[in-house]
Amino acid sequence: MPDDKSKTGGQDRKLISLSEAYEVRDWSKKFGVTADELRAAVKAVGNDAATVEAHLKGKR
């Protein structure tokens, strides 16, 4: 089910939703990686943004 865009902030900001194109675009830009790299990181460690960021930083 898509995110409710009327509800901003909170816990949703800590999770990465690969089913939403704008989230893939925004998180990829934030982390400085391609969409495919982001998808691979989420597949490897889950969708928690802090965990994904740590995983991506460890690969550099």
pLDDT at 5: 62
Query: How many contiguous H segments (helices) and E segments (strands) does the chain have?
Result: 3, 0
Residue 51: what pLDDT?
96
Q: For residue 29, count CB atoms less than 10 angstroms from its CB and return exposed for 0-12, middle for 13-18, buried for 19 or more.
A: exposed
The structure's pTM equals 0.78
Report percent pLDDT > 70 for the chain: 80
Amino acid at 49: A
pLDDT at 10 over 60: no
Query: Residue 26 pLDDT more than 60?
Result: yes
Say whether pLDDT at 29 is over 70.
yes
